[in-house]
Structure 1
Amino acid sequence: MRKVFFLVAFFLVTGPVLGQSSKAGLFIDSFVTKNNFNGTILLAKKNKAWYKKSFGSANFQQQVPNTTDTRYKIASITKAFTAVLVLQLYEQGKIDLNKTISTYLPDYKGEAANKVTVVQLLNMTSGIHNMDADLSLESALKQGMPQYQLPHTSDEMLTRYGSGKLENEPGKVWDYNNADYIILGKIIERITSKTFEEHLQANILQPLLMTNSGIAYQQKMIPRLADTYFYREDIKAMVNDLPAYMENWYASGAMYSTVDDILKFANALFEKKLLKQATLDLMFTSGLSEYGYGVWVYKDYDIHHKNYTIIKRPGSIMGAQAMLFHVLEEGSTIIILSNTATASLDEFAAKIATRIVE
């Protein structure tokens, strides 16, 4: 009798997950085939991964397969880490979110020095000239990308690309600008007297045992890091990413990680182990263009005619594509890391969500 009860209880608990796994797995396999997706996908609920699978190659030339331990460049998911570090300093009383840049960087020369606040950097409403405004694939192929293809220290990135003129009144217009997070990185360094990487390691990566995550550098050989590729429409071929100094993306996009490490970060964030609830409420306030602090926040997101709150943090640098997608009320997390730009991860994650949320 006890054995029968156990089996019934087991299927009551695992049945929905098994059903979700089958439904999601069939869809993922189909999407991967249609879009030539390369990368790793992890699905979790209530902090536990219940689906993890890799596809394609980490290195096309040597035909090295992606695995669940493959490290990927996570691009702008880095901004979520930067936002958390800033908010931790806010909780410690070391940063006033409503103070201006010059409060923490008195030698900052940009027009924004006494006009743009830390909050406006966090929520991308600084109004500072967008450092990537004139950047396109066409211009990069003809003229290169001086922001990223020439060696620059983080101080040089701040001076050259994070100190432009104000083009909009601070707080009034949303504009996705990597410069805002470069400034935040330098504020973190000035307050803590540590490099951004040292502070990141000490306050997030080491406490969470994220041993497969860090900052990528052009000169650093990182074991198991996937090479990145993108599709050239003009020549109808998959090609190597353009050469770049990954460290130039700095606090806005220079990190690498694995799906397991990103899950550790997501779990700690949503379990209030990195920030208090009141601070999370600030981070997850949906502002202009539905952007919070380092993440997008979609209120009343419809899945099967029910409204949910979605916390989303995508990343994209050429072939490096990444997605952290969390359904707040369900506790469901979708993590997609890719080394090719062959599929829309926004579309991919949204469609997966409809198959794992009942």
Structure 2
Amino acid sequence: MKKYIFKICLVVVIALITWGAFIVFKPEPKSIGDLIESYENPGMKIKIRSPFSGTVLVAKNGRIIFEEAYGDANIATKTANTIDTKFGIGSVTKQFTAMLVMQLVEKNKMQLEDTIGKYLPYLPSEKASHITIHQLLSNTSGLPHYNGLESIGMSLNKFASTQYTPKALAKLIGKTHLIHKPGTTYVYSSLGYHLLGVILEEVSGKSYTKLLEEQIIEPLGLKNTGFETNAYISNELAKGYRYDEVYGWDWWFNSKHGGQTKSVSFRDQSTAYSAGGIHSTAKDLFIWSEAIKSNALLGPEMTQRMLTPNKQGYCYGWIRNWDDIIEKNTKVRLYGHGGALFGNSAFIALYDDETTIIYLSNRSNLKAEEILHQVHLRANNLKDKFKLKGYPNRSSYVKFKEAGGMVVLQDYFNRLSKYSGYTVNPSNSTMRGVMKIHLEAGEIEVADSLKTVFFSSYNPDERTLNEFGYDFLYSETPNYALEFFIENTVRFPNSSNAWDSLGEAYVTYEDYENGIACYKKAVELGEKVAHRSLILYNENLKNARDKHY
């Protein structure tokens, strides 16, 4: 019996080694078609986070050179995607919203310098009197992204499942807290683009749907693009899915090539709206991209203004030289924008070398930079040899120092910034990792200097500061966590969650008096907005008191 079990195990091990060798030594796909087919194969999922399902269109000099569909539009009914399948395009919607705004500006019906109170006088004065149309378009309004709703007690799930009128949506956004002074800092904010949709309706006297049809869809002859109802989205679009990698028992018995494809919850269209609610096809988006380049919808002067980079390379609905792409190929320059929406991913990229790449997918969280980079190489018969080099090893303090340390790291990002055309800083995870290895090596002054730079130059949001705090709280250097939690309450004093987290840190350090004070503050703020976590805040306060007294 033991010999039999041993033979079975040996066969399994040999099979796994053979399969692994096949994956490792399998030749690189040569054509665009071969590439996407390799992404469709779950065995290659690690390169783009999920097996690919959707449509891809590639053009050179205005001529389509590749278009193909992959995977299923509906797994349950086994309906295959076709090149004409409609997908939610998520934040690619912002391009259309920006165009509609610029068309009204061109007609002198509104001005970029107008404050939003001119059109939405019911908003609080801190927003109505200080935020401009330009700031909404360029993501410099000081408004948060969707996570800003959580600080006023609105869970993202509740928001996504609630139906709003445009005015009710604007009033909800009006309750959120500014995270920066308007005009000073770039922070990607879909809430800002929601307000643009409401303003468009106020100025034009038409619904967003009608304005989109009259000003863009009909003039371009788009057949499969629009902003439609929940019923239309449910019945006419590819179903959205997410792909989760699994391990252990599930990997062996409940997965397909190491993962599970799952349906996602439905998001009410009124919450996607002018920031992410449009649907389209790859062909329609190609027509749209050509219209942008030929000034078919907007005069040259206003088109140039729309495509002028502002802070962090963000134009109006477009990004100039996304650094994740430039990092992979320092020779390219491009305009682009991606979108992600409850089981959907999308991207449209217009390269300066006249390459256009569009993909739409009914899988969430695809690795856009990898797809675009690899497709661009094959569309232009290029070798993959222009990746930015010199990123130092950060796996340990010793290896980091051997690679040149902070000097080399800063030089890397200085070069990336030069290529991109705007300042690119190391990612949050990189900063956190570099702080950690210096703390573990006893280099406290260096870690402190990095923390100071992070606070002053990164303008971290509430969620990021909390993530840093908890990461350090349960690391080998827990005492370093406190300053991140404190900084969070300084920057976001009206956030009950920030105070609750600071309270948890103090209680972890057995500083019960400060912990109780913070928990009291969390409860006080939570009661003002009927926060969804109010019960938890009260429980934390009670537990801290029980431990202290």
TM-score range, shorter chain: 0.7 to 0.9
The 5 Å alignment of 1:104-115 reads 104-109=119-124, 111-115=126-130
Structure 1 letter corresponding to 2:278: M
Alpha-carbon contact 2:127-2:174 (below 8 Å) kept? no
- Is residue 288 from structure 1 mapped to residue 327 from structure 2 by the alignment? no
Aligned-partner Cα distance in 1 for 2:331–2:306: 20
Partner residue in 1 for 2:343: 319
Alpha-carbon contact 2:241-2:363 (below 8 Å) kept? yes
Gaps of 5+ in 2: 1-28, 46-50, 251-258, 383-549
SS in 2 for 1:111: helix
In the TM superposition, residue 222 of structure 1 has moved relative to its aligned partner by 6.3
- Per-residue CA deviations over 1:87-112 (Å, capped at 9, x if unaligned) read 11111111210111012223333521
Aligned-partner Cα distance in 2 for 1:308–1:232: 32
In the TM superposition, residue 161 of structure 1 has moved relative to its aligned partner by 2.5
- Is residue 31 from structure 1 mapped to residue 39 from structure 2 by the alignment? yes
Alpha-carbon contact 1:43-1:333 (below 8 Å) kept? yes
In the TM superposition, residue 315 of structure 1 has moved relative to its aligned partner by 0.2
In the TM superposition, residue 331 of structure 1 has moved relative to its aligned partner by 1.8
- Is residue 169 from structure 1 mapped to residue 184 from structure 2 by the alignment? no
CA shift in 2, pair 1:28/1:119, >3 Å: same
Partner residue in 2 for 1:15: none
In the TM superposition, residue 344 of structure 1 has moved relative to its aligned partner by 1.1
CA shift in 2, pair 1:230/1:302, >3 Å: closer
- Is residue 62 from structure 1 mapped to residue 77 from structure 2 by the alignment? yes
Aligned-partner Cα distance in 1 for 2:184–2:203: 27
Partner residue in 2 for 1:9: none
Question: CA RMSD, aligned part only?
Answer: 2.5
- Per-residue CA deviations over 1:214-250 (Å, capped at 9, x if unaligned) read 1132233666410001124578532111122123211
Q: Percent identical across equivalent pairs?
A: 28
- Is residue 252 from structure 1 mapped to residue 275 from structure 2 by the alignment? yes
- Per-residue CA deviations over 1:277-336 (Å, capped at 9, x if unaligned) read 222222222222221111111189759977443111100012110000110x32211000
The 5 Å alignment of 1:134-173 reads 145-173=157-185
Structure 1 letter corresponding to 2:38: S
Q: Which has the higher contact order (CA 8 A, sep 6+)?
A: 1
SS in 2 for 1:314: strand
Partner residue in 1 for 2:539: none
CA shift in 2, pair 1:207/1:47, >3 Å: same
Aligned-partner Cα distance in 2 for 1:146–1:106: 27
In the TM superposition, residue 202 of structure 1 has moved relative to its aligned partner by 0.1
Structure 2 letter corresponding to 1:31: Y
Partner residue in 1 for 2:86: 71
In the TM superposition, residue 48 of structure 1 has moved relative to its aligned partner by 2.0
SS in 2 for 1:51: strand
- Is residue 266 from structure 1 mapped to residue 289 from structure 2 by the alignment? yes
Alpha-carbon contact 1:147-1:161 (below 8 Å) kept? no
CA shift in 2, pair 1:280/1:303, >3 Å: farther
- Is residue 219 from structure 1 mapped to residue 218 from structure 2 by the alignment? no
- Per-residue CA deviations over 1:166-218 (Å, capped at 9, x if unaligned) read 22011111111111001111111111100111001000001111121111322
1:279 maps to which of 298, 302, 311: 302
CA shift in 2, pair 1:28/1:237, >3 Å: closer
Structure 2 letter corresponding to 1:177: S
Aligned-partner Cα distance in 1 for 2:108–2:159: 34
Partner residue in 2 for 1:11: none
SS in 2 for 1:237: strand
Partner residue in 2 for 1:203: 215
In the TM superposition, residue 128 of structure 1 has moved relative to its aligned partner by 1.8
Gaps of 5+ in 1: 1-20
Q: TM-score, normalised by structure 1?
A: 0.85
- Is residue 101 from structure 1 mapped to residue 125 from structure 2 by the alignment? no
Judging by fraction of residues, say which structure has more helix: 2
- Is residue 187 from structure 1 mapped to residue 199 from structure 2 by the alignment? yes
CA shift in 2, pair 1:343/1:167, >3 Å: closer
CA shift in 2, pair 1:187/1:144, >3 Å: closer
CA shift in 2, pair 1:343/1:304, >3 Å: closer
- Is residue 341 from structure 1 mapped to residue 364 from structure 2 by the alignment? yes
SS in 2 for 1:172: coil
Aligned-partner Cα distance in 1 for 2:329–2:189: 34
Max radius of gyration: which structure? Answer: 2
Q: TM-score, normalised by structure 2?
A: 0.57
Alpha-carbon contact 2:267-2:342 (below 8 Å) kept? no
Structure 2 letter corresponding to 1:253: G
In the TM superposition, residue 113 of structure 1 has moved relative to its aligned partner by 0.5
Aligned-partner Cα distance in 2 for 1:339–1:28: 15
Structure 2 letter corresponding to 1:200: L
- Per-residue CA deviations over 1:121-164 (Å, capped at 9, x if unaligned) read 001010024333466xxx99xx6612211122222111112552
2:375 maps to which of 336, 352, 355: 352
SS in 2 for 1:126: coil
Aligned-partner Cα distance in 2 for 1:24–1:239: 27
CA shift in 2, pair 1:313/1:134, >3 Å: same
Alpha-carbon contact 1:162-1:183 (below 8 Å) kept? no
SS in 1 for 2:229: coil
- Per-residue CA deviations over 1:230-280 (Å, capped at 9, x if unaligned) read 124578532111122123211000011111111111110111112222222
